[in-house]
């Protein structure tokens, strides 16, 4: 073989392999069937959840002959890092999840399919709370099926409360009470932290926003930063004093969102801001003792940061794929007693059933059915979560501000400052953050 022939063979070989490796999003299953890819299969680190998911896929395929479902288990399930590239590269699943923070962005960039005409496939779609549905609706068109909605509360360790001589059934309602309780817990001795808080990795700013809302403050009004206010200062002053006067928030500047839950699970941290799903993670992922954890409404109780997610459909999906995808969403995520709401199975698998971590259906018939199923199979002490459920109606849910991640990065600076420097000047920190935030908000 002549050398240049060899070279040609070599390059065509390369080309072939590379194209073979290239992503291919839409495939049609075997004989006249349809195949879809779905995101969010539980990771290998949670074998039981994973098996349950696989069983659900099998059940679903049996009920819908001709539909084949392939799951992906990329963690985290929504990765902002690769989201745009996956779409551009045609590697996005047919069904993918989007957190509430990114709804606007994804819909504006036309990265999700308009499913207005086929929402009926999801039988209980109408039972989803109106305001939650409103978030995935733009100009009267629906772009997703909400799947979770929660608002932040205060997660606390009841056992530590008892140990410190506090009443676990009367958790703090105001930030003053939080501070007093934290001091008592920290006084238990070395290694005890009264109230855990983040200082970086964008989680610091995120928690700042939560504390700000709870006091009735605002992050952004009319496209301008609004957190340099009495409420904002109160948030930072309170944290600064807890750190330096009471020494009740520990000395670590935590940066990863998992780090605080890990500490919570270790049983030496008294309180943290968090939605009910924090309890699920603390008890399941980090092996905390389920009976020890309770949750109550956010201190201050003015408003609470609402979080949640929705499943959306790949804009490149064919009509038959779209239908199959919605059938999957209906079966797995929106049917009481099935899929993720199969609480009986969850109980058998030792899942932390019982956390009121999702009220996206509100008081609708479906919502009630789900709540009953949860209660009937609860393995967790449901009583521990009553304070949260009782407080919920009085607290206004608030969505995240625009350009949330960038604002959080700016506020990380203020949060880490009050946690690491006794000399931190709250007024200056907030003034700086405000001007930074305004320059970010002023950009297109």
Q: Are 275 and 357 in contact (CB under 8 A)?
A: yes
Applying the rule CB under 8 A, the residues between 373 and 412 that interact with another protein are 403, 405-406, 409-410, 412
Could you say whether residue 102 binds another protein (CB under 8 A)? Answer: yes
d(CA 125, CA 332): 13
Indicate which single residue of 54, 58, 63, 75 sits in contact with another protein (rule: CB under 8 A).
75
Do residues 219 and 226 touch, judged by C-beta distance below 8 A? yes
C-alpha to C-alpha distances, 414 to 1, 165, 232, 240, 431, nearest whole angstrom: 69, 33, 11, 10, 10
Q: How far apart are CA 99 and CA 78, in angstroms?
A: 7
Minimal distance, residue 439 CB to another protein, in Å? 5
At 386, is the secondary structure helix, strand, or coil?
helix
As a whole number of angstroms, the distance between CA 400 and CA 98 comes to 14
Contact status: 23 vs another protein (CB under 8 A): yes
Segment interacting with another protein (CB under 8 A) among 161-169, 201-209, 317-325, 331-339: 201-209
CB contact set of 165 (below 8 Å; sequence gap of 6+)? 184
| Contacting residue, 27, 51, 58, 109, with another protein by CB under 8 A | 109
Does the protein bind another protein through residue 14 (CB under 8 A)? yes
Closer to another protein at the Cβ: 110 or 375? 110
Our CB check for another protein shows the closer of 368 and 403 to be: 403
CB 383 within 8 A of CB 291: no
CB 204 within 8 A of CB 198: yes
Give the shortest CB-149-to-another protein separation in angstroms. Answer: 22
CA separation for the pair 17, 4 (Å, rounded): 20
Residue 19 CB neighbour total at 10 angstroms: 9
Residues linked to residue 195 through DSSP beta bridges, in sequence order = 271
**Residue closer to another protein, measured from CB, 7 or 230:** 7
By CB under 8 A, the count of residues binding another protein is: 79
Cβ closest to another protein, residue 83 vs residue 125? 83
Is position 111 an interface residue for another protein (rule: CB under 8 A)? Answer: yes
> φ and ψ at 438, to 5 degrees?
-65, -40
Under 8 Å between Cβ of 270 and 182 = yes
For another protein, the binding residue among 159, 180, 188, 255 (CB under 8 A) is: 255
Least Cβ distance, residue 100 to another protein (angstroms):
14
Q: Which of 42, 164, 416, 430 is in the footprint of another protein by CB under 8 A?
A: 416
Selected range binding another protein among 79-87, 208-216, 239-247, 388-396, rule: CB under 8 A: 79-87
Q: Which of 172, 194, 199, 339 binds another protein (CB under 8 A)?
A: 199
User: At its nearest, how many Å lie between another protein and the CB of residue 31?
Assistant: 28
How far is Cα 112 from Cα 25, in angstroms, rounded to an integer? 14
Site string for another protein, 223-252 (x = CB under 8 A): ----------------------------xx
Site for another protein in 314-343 (CB under 8 A): none
From 57, 67, 86, 351, residue interacting with another protein (rule: CB under 8 A)? 86
Q: Which is nearer to another protein, 391 or 430 (CB)?
A: 430
Based on CB atoms, which residue is closest to another protein, 273 or 418? 418
Q: Kindly state whether residue 8 participates in binding another protein, applying the rule CB under 8 A.
A: yes
> Which lies closer to another protein via its Cβ, residue 43 or residue 392?
43
21 contributes a contact to another protein by CB under 8 A? yes
Q: Where are the beta strands (DSSP E) in 7-163?
A: 34-38, 67-71, 95-99, 137-138, 141-142, 145-151, 153-157
Q: Which is nearer to another protein, 188 or 255 (CB)?
A: 255
Q: What is the DSSP letter of 227?
A: -
Q: Which residues have CB under 8 Å from 150's CB, separation 6+?
A: 275, 276, 277, 306, 307, 308, 357, 358, 359
Which residues between 168 and 197 bind another protein (CB under 8 A)? 191
Query: Out of 51, 55, 79, 167, which residue is the one contacting another protein (CB under 8 A)?
Result: 79
**141 is a contact residue toward another protein (CB under 8 A):** no
200 touches another protein by CB under 8 A:
yes
Closest CA to 325 of 68, 133, 21: 68
Q: Which of 220, 417, 426, 430 binds another protein (CB under 8 A)?
A: 417
Among residue numbers 269 through 308, which ones bind another protein (CB under 8 A)? 285-286
Is position 89 an interface residue for another protein (rule: CB under 8 A)?
Answer: yes
Q: What stretches of 245-355 show up as alpha helix (H) in DSSP?
A: 257-265, 277-284, 319-333, 343-348
């Amino acid at each position: 073989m002549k050398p240049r022939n060899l070279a040609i063979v070599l390059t065509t070989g390369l080309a072939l392999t590379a194209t073979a490796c290239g992503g291919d999003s839409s495939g049609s299953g075997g004989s006249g069937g349809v195949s879809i890819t779905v995101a969010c299969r539980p990771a290998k680190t949670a074998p039981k959840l994973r098996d349950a998911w696989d069983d659900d896929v099998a059940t679903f395929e049996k009920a819908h002959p001709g539909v084949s479902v392939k799951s992906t288990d990329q963690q985290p399930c929504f990765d902002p890092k690769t989201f745009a590239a996956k779409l551009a590269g045609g590697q996005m699943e047919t069904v993918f999840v989007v957190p509430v923070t990114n709804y606007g962005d994804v819909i504006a960039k036309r990265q999700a399919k308009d499913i207005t005409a086929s929402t009926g496939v999801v039988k209980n779609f109408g039972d989803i709370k109106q305001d939650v549905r409103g978030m995935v609706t733009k100009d009267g068109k629906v772009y997703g099926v909400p799947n979770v909605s929660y608002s932040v509360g205060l997660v606390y360790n009841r056992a530590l409360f008892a140990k410190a001589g506090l009443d676990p059934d009367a958790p703090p309602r105001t930030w003053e009470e939080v501070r007093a309780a934290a001091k008592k817990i920290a006084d238990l001795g070395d290694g005890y932290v009264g109230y855990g808080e983040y200082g970086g990795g964008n989680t610091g700013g995120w928690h700042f926003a939560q504390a700000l809302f709870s006091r009735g403050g605002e992050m952004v009004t009319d496209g301008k930063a609004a957190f340099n206010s009495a409420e904002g200062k109160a948030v930072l002053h309170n944290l600064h004093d807890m750190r330096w006067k009471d020494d009740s928030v520990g000395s670590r500047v935590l940066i990863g969102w998992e780090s605080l839950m890990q500490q919570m699970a270790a049983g030496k941290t008294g309180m943290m801001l968090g939605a009910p799903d924090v309890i699920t993670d603390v008890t399941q992922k980090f092996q905390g003792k389920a009976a020890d954890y309770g949750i109550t409404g956010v201190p201050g109780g003015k408003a609470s940061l609402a979080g949640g997610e929705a499943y959306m459909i790949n804009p490149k999906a064919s009509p038959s794929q779209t239908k199959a995808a919605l059938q999957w969403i209906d079966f797995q995520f929106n049917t009481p007693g099935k899929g993720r709401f199969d609480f009986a199975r969850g109980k058998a698998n030792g899942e932390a059933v019982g956390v009121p971590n999702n009220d996206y259906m509100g008081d609708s018939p479906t919502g009630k059915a789900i709540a009953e199923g949860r209660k009937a199979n609860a393995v967790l002490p449901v009583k521990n979560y009553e304070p949260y459920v009782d407080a919920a109606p009085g607290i206004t849910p608030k969505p995240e501000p625009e350009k949330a991640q960038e604002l959080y990065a700016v506020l990380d600076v203020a949060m880490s400052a009050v946690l690491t420097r006794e000399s931190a000047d709250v007024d200056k920190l907030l003034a700086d953050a405000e001007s930074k935030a305004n320059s970010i908000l002023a950009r297109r």
